[in-house]
Amino acid sequence: MKSTLTVSAVQQPCDEDRQTNLDFSIAKIHEAAAANADLVVLPELHLGPYFCQNEDYNNYNLAQPIPGPTTAILSDVANELGIVIVSTIFEKRAPGLYHNTAVVFDKDGSIAGKYRKMHIPDDPGFYEKYYFTPGDLGFKPIETSIGKLGVLVCWDQWYPEGARLMALAGADMLIYPTAIGWDPEDTPEEQQRQLDAWITIQRAHAVANGIPVIACNRIGFEQAPNSATGTGINFWGNSFIAGPQGEIITSANDSETKVLSCTIDNARSERVRQIWPFLRDRRIDEYGDLTKRFID
């Protein structure tokens, strides 16, 4: 593994046309590669609008197998540019069985591995339990030519357990492709609280585990299907890359299309863990109750 890596995250809008979105993502991958990036991360389900705003069985037609048509295209791009790519795809595993799946392509175009989203939300505007079966591949980093990638997806970012398990399994960094935004009917104060919480929890994962975090979100307002009142989600962007002490290295605002790029130093992560030895001091003999739903 290289001592330093150039990593990128693509913050982009996602419109109605799948090919347009894929072409846009590929253009941004080329932009990252031109900046000598070793890794580029795309937002969650970047091939189209966030379809989980309602429950409609017709949306199952959006799913595709892995390997499949999109993975074939992205494999070719990874091989052509010599870059590691993280994409998320609505996976059709079998008839009636679907996952929200992150796929990692290595620099030679091979599929290094995949991660199926473990935590599945079910909230107004985020009806993911209707579409996605909870992941069954565990919290296992994906081995690539640039290191072990702890890839998780969106709602996973709120759970320190997933981040910790990835770190304990040797992840060199944590990666969160995301589709998260505001309800426009919420007050500006509530919207700010939600955004601050989202940033804080992920920076905390970097701090607690002593490794960088890449958070990659989409942007733009997406109206809920069949909404007569124009309701929908305003995806808040604010993608960022944080270092092993939670420091923000690079970030985007809530509306800009941007390829975030920075250099991360693997030796620094090791040094941070030496001065803040959180893994050393864990009382694993006393944590058994963490496997309970609630301690009554």
**In tens digits, what is the pLDDT along the chain, a chain of 296 residues?**
678 999 999 999 999 999 999 999 999 999 999 999 999 999 999 999 999 999 999 999 999 999 999 999 999 999 999 999 999 999 999 999 999 999 999 999 999 999 999 999 999 999 999 999 999 999 999 999 999 999 999 999 999 999 999 999 999 999 999 999 999 999 999 999 999 999 999 999 999 999 999 999 999 999 998 776 778 999 999 999 999 999 999 999 999 999 999 999 999 999 999 999 999 999 999 999 999 999 99
What is the model's pLDDT at position 3? 86
Contact 89, 64 (CB under 8 A): yes
Residue 145's contacts (CB-CB under 8 Å, 6 or more residues apart) are 84, 106, 107, 108
Query: What contacts 69, CB < 8 A, 6 or more positions away?
Result: none
Q: Note every long-range contact of 156-163, with CB atoms under 8 Å and residues 24 or more positions apart, other chains counting.
A: 156/117, 156/118, 156/119, 157/198, 157/201, 157/202, 157/205, 157/215, 158/119, 158/201, 159/119, 160/201, 160/204, 160/205, 160/208, 161/290, 162/118, 162/119, 163/205, 163/208, 163/209
262 carries an active-site annotation: no
Whole-number pLDDT of residue 1: 66
What local confidence, expressed as pLDDT, does residue 226 receive? 77
- Determine the pLDDT at residue 2: 76
- Which one of 44, 91, 128, 222 is the catalytic residue? 44
Q: What is the pLDDT, as a whole number, of residue 229?
A: 75
Concerning whether 92 is annotated as a catalytic residue, the answer is no
Of the residues 92, 114, 117, 148, only one is catalytic, namely 117
pTM as predicted: 0.97
Among candidate residues 154, 216, 222, 258, the one labeled active-site is 154
For the question of residue 154 being annotated catalytic, the response is yes
138's tokens: 């565990």
